[in-house]
A and B are shown apart, each in its own frame.
Chain A
């Protein structure tokens, strides 16, 4: 997981994203200030339960507040600021929206 999200972070190359999910990236690859809509989530029951109860569900709008490219990052979702580990952020797929 960790490696995959690292690969995504560099630049979403066409090979790394399937054609059907054209414009979608992992949350961990988004730059500060970028906005998007959650497409889907991956993870075990525990993590999914935690993500959804903190506001991440498909259709939710997210804004990345802080992302230094390594370590955890901060995103705003449903009015709340949420800190996520890079691994966790690599399990949330987001469709970018132009600002």
Chain B
């Protein structure tokens, strides 16, 4: 697929070694869904680095490419519709162009939606960096009956325009050559930027006059004036700080008198676009029904749309159960289990604590991280595919009404739904939500979705406590978790976010075939990122919890963890829990399924110490047969119910906490989330316990 470009690049590298080394900084800009990731992946392959923009939770992708002896440093700017400070993405994109001064900005546009995708170009040509327009998806445009003449468009814009089809690697080489010629100054780039709508020209001039001499470099003065008129929050703040007070007052008065200027500025840009494309584009025959419209009659239908979504959800779960869980178990048995056995055999002569540390602490921790992988890979692949083909926006559309009740966005639905499999991809999946508030709320609520590991515990304990009513209790517990989630959403939204709801307005992109290269790279990046970041948190936490569970005496009963459990017993009493059940809850922090293993150690055979088995980490279903009955005989059903309720709503596992920190980028929100869940689970546990007692359980 990519052979054409890469042969060219390889040949060129051979030549390039002899010539002088030159590095060109290229920024890749474009609106969402114009094929930016496809192009970026095609150009850089695995030669890319994924991180975050400094101080922001916005993903930053950077890669290198060598072509004709020149090294290109490619920075993938976040996909945004405009460059006004409505979101962190937009600020990041424009700050990079203004402050880092790339040699060339490649602006990718969708030829099938040329008018709208040139809106970003209208903003880019006003910034001090040469622009090359990549006219992508000319094949899709042709299918829709739209003909674009690149030379005519280039002449009108005053910047080079390269027609291309990134998914088929057509025109990509020409794009790089054009970038090279612009960077070396061989090809002129003299855009004529858009003007504000005629009725606001005087106001703009007045503001420019007022801020003359005070515009902080490297920001262009005209650009600042325009952004002030648009009501850009960041630039307004910046100028308020820069200008002497009486000057600012004058500017402020002008702005207040023209608070409708935002629409005038935008209109000016579209008028400019209209002039640019007038000669270059042949309009389609009206009334033509494309593939997207035909598919959307089903996918966005109030009833069929929901059924299709339900079908896709069923498919995801089928895939998880048929492929994911068996793989997880295989990994657990044949990789983690074998490693543990090997380590135990190898450390046979070493002191017990060392063997315990290696087997239960370190291998146990690594195992937890590893066993997440199959499920995560499946979820990332499914999410990536749904996003890439354009379905994600449709799912958001049909679910929006329902999700809004909780202050969430339609796009929150699929990530949250993934939480039923595992909370980790639910948190990571929230990246598809553009609205910062809705994304944060989705992350905070995701741990309340009962994941498979929690349901395993329910499935294990409920039959012993409730007999034939076990199924009813299980469904009741799921329902309770979802009701708590909905209520928490409403409460957090009303209080902390003060009821401001994210506006629901988004593009429904054209459907297209999935690009496996893009999806594959996404899965690879997301998985390695999880291993790297979550791994560094999970491993130490696992070692610490292990140490607390064996120190100082070597057995759980006399460990520090047991002391903490006893110390917390007065709280546990309120819901009928003794210290052993509390310890089981505490160990579930490493992985939810640990609860059963811990209960096995604490109740099953009192003589069994953690040093003797991989107790804390393996599922422990072996010792299960009698354990559930022992528990049911020891505690009344009310305690059993309270324990399961707390288990369902309790602090999530450390892997989830690690990704909550990663995605919110803030310890404050992470701790808030933990505290919130702790409180909710305690209240629910106590409430259910007393209700159950009243009911005579």
Contact = CB atoms under 8 A, between A and B. Distances in A.
A97 to B, nearest CB: 13
B342 to A, nearest CB: 55
4 closest Cβ pairs, A-B complex = A85-B504, A52-B266, A53-B82, A53-B81
21 contacts: A45-B231, A46-B503, A49-B230, A52-B266, A53-B266, A54-B116, A54-B507, A57-B267, A59-B270, A71-B401, A77-B116, A79-B113, A79-B114, A80-B113, A80-B116, A81-B292, A83-B397, A83-B505, A84-B505, A87-B503, A88-B505
A48 B263 contact: yes
Contacts of A79: 112-116
Given A53-B119, A55-B116, A66-B300, A48 B262 contact: yes
B217 to A, nearest CB: 26
Interface in B321-367: none
A82 B505 contact: yes
A58 B397 contact: no
Given A46-B503, A72-B397, A72-B504, A52 B115 contact: no
A82 B507 contact: yes
A47 interface: yes
Majority secondary structure of chain B interface residues (helix, strand, loop or mixed): helix
Interface in A48-99: 48-55, 57-60, 65-66, 68, 71-72, 74, 77-85, 87-88
Contacts of B82: 49, 52-53
Contacts of B695: none
A49 B115 CA distance: 17
Interface of A: 40-41, 43, 45-55, 57-60, 65-66, 68, 71-72, 74, 77-85, 87-88
B393 interface: yes
B400 A72 contact: yes
Contacts of A50: 81, 86, 503, 505
B302 interface: yes
A82 B296 CA distance: 12
Interface string B287-310: 000001100100010100000000
Contacts of A83: 300, 393, 396-397, 400, 504-508
Interface bracket on B: 35 or more
Contact of A65 (B115, B293, B509): B293
Given A71-B302, A79-B112, A81-B292, A52 B262 contact: yes
A74 B397 CA distance: 9
Nearest to B267: A57
B270 A54 contact: no
Nearest to A55: B116
A37 to B, nearest CB: 13
Contacts of B401: 71-72
B503 A85 contact: yes
B505 A74 contact: no
B38 interface: no
Contacts of B493: none
B84 interface: yes
Contacts of B114: 79
Nearest to B297: A66
A46 B510 CA distance: 25
B262 A45 contact: yes
Contacts of B81: 50, 53-54
A32 B231 CA distance: 34
Given A52-B82, A53-B84, A87-B504, 8 more contacts: A45-B233, A48-B262, A52-B263, A55-B119, A57-B267, A59-B270, A66-B296, A72-B400
B262 A49 contact: yes
Given A72-B401, A74-B296, A81-B292, A46 B505 contact: no
Nearest to A59: B267
A82 to B, nearest CB: 6
Nearest to A45: B231
Contacts of B115: 55, 78-79
B562 to A, nearest CB: 53
Contacts of A54: 81, 116, 505-507
Contacts of B404: 85
A16 to B, nearest CB: 23
A85 B230 CA distance: 24
Nearest to A91: B503
B267 A58 contact: yes
A83 B504 CA distance: 8
A85 B113 contact: no
Contacts of A55: 115-116, 119, 270
A80 B266 contact: no
Given A53-B81, A83-B393, A60 B505 contact: no
A53 B503 CA distance: 14
A89 to B, nearest CB: 9
Contact of A74 (B262, B266, B503, B508): B508
Contacts of A77: 116
B211 to A, nearest CB: 20
A85 B300 CA distance: 13
A99 to B, nearest CB: 10
Nearest to A82: B507
Nearest to B283: A79
B398 to A, nearest CB: 9
